[in-house]
């Protein structure tokens, strides 16, 4: 039986950190790794710091808008998303990303889900949710203004339950 290389290590060697081959939690496909992000692309990306007053949904929407404008170079839109997303995170948010297990996120859906699980607070949605459930037209308010105000609330609360609510109920 062959000897294990760990058997011959000195005790001080165990105190040295081991850096994995791919320390990123986002495991990129070959296509995503080969996707060419230019310096001009980096300047267009939004930033998210993980602060309590930041809106992670707004960050994702803005990120989608920027990435949808990038040339796809023969790859799906998920590839540049996965490649560019870590560069949008700063400070506390970047620290959080670095704590995730290397290679644990293999799809864009998994990256977005993990991000929202961490930074999207259902407490932040309590007030807008109540406004949507109790929505009514103000006295003397024209219908078109009422409708625009309602759409603004829905846009701010773009979660799956709002989509479900709107598809299963009538506005009037």
| Residue 12 belongs to a domain | no
Phi-psi region of 70 (alpha: psi -120 to 50; beta: other; left: phi over 0): beta
Q: Are residues 112 and 27 in the same domain?
A: yes
pTM, rounded to two decimals: 0.65
Q: Are residues 139 and 157 in the same domain?
A: yes
| pLDDT, one tens digit for every residue, the chain (172 residues) | 445 555 677 777 777 776 666 678 777 777 777 777 777 778 889 999 999 888 888 899 899 999 888 777 777 788 888 888 999 999 999 999 888 888 788 888 998 999 988 988 776 666 667 777 778 888 998 998 988 888 887 776 665 444 554 544 544 4
Q: Are residues 115 and 74 in the same domain?
A: yes
Q: Are 32 and 80 in contact (CB under 8 A)?
A: yes
| Residue 155 belongs to a domain | yes
Burial class (CB in 10 A: 0-12, 13-18, 19+), 116: middle
| Token duo for residue 88 | 């949008």
| Residue 144 belongs to a domain | yes
Please identify, among 105, 120, 135, the residue that sits at the C-terminal boundary of a domain: 120
Number of domains in the chain: 2
Going by the DSSP 8-state scheme, the letter that residue 26 receives in this structure is B
| Token duo for residue 48 | 């998210």
| Residue 77 belongs to a domain | yes
Q: Are residues 66 and 91 in the same domain?
A: yes
Q: Are 122 and 93 in contact (CB under 8 A)?
A: no
Residues 96, 70: Cα–Cα separation, whole Å: 27
Which residues partner with 26 through β-bridges? Answer: 105
| Residue 90 belongs to a domain | yes
Q: Are residues 108 and 29 in the same domain?
A: yes
- Count of Cβ atoms closer than 10 Å to residue 111 Cβ: 21
| Residue 106 belongs to a domain | yes
What is the domain range of residue 40? 23-120
């Amino acid at each position: 039986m062959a000897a294990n290389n760990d058997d011959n290590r000195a005790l001080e060697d165990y105190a040295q950190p081991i850096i994995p081959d791919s320390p990123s939690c986002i495991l990129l496909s070959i296509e995503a790794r080969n996707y060419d992000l230019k310096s001009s692309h980096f300047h267009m990306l939004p930033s998210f710091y993980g602060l309590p007053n930041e809106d992670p949904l707004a960050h994702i929407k803005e990120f989608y808008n920027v990435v949808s404008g990038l040339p796809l170079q023969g790859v799906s839109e998920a590839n540049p998303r996965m490649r560019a997303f870590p560069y949008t995170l700063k400070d506390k948010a970047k620290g959080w990303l670095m704590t995730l297990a290397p290679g644990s996120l293999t799809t864009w859906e998994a990256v977005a889900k993990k991000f929202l699980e961490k930074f999207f607070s259902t407490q932040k949605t309590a007030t807008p949710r109540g406004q949507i459930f109790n929505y009514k037209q103000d006295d003397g308010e024209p219908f078109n203004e009422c409708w625009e105000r309602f759409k603004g609330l829905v846009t701010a609360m773009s979660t799956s339950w709002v989509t479900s609510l709107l598809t299963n109920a009538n506005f009037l």
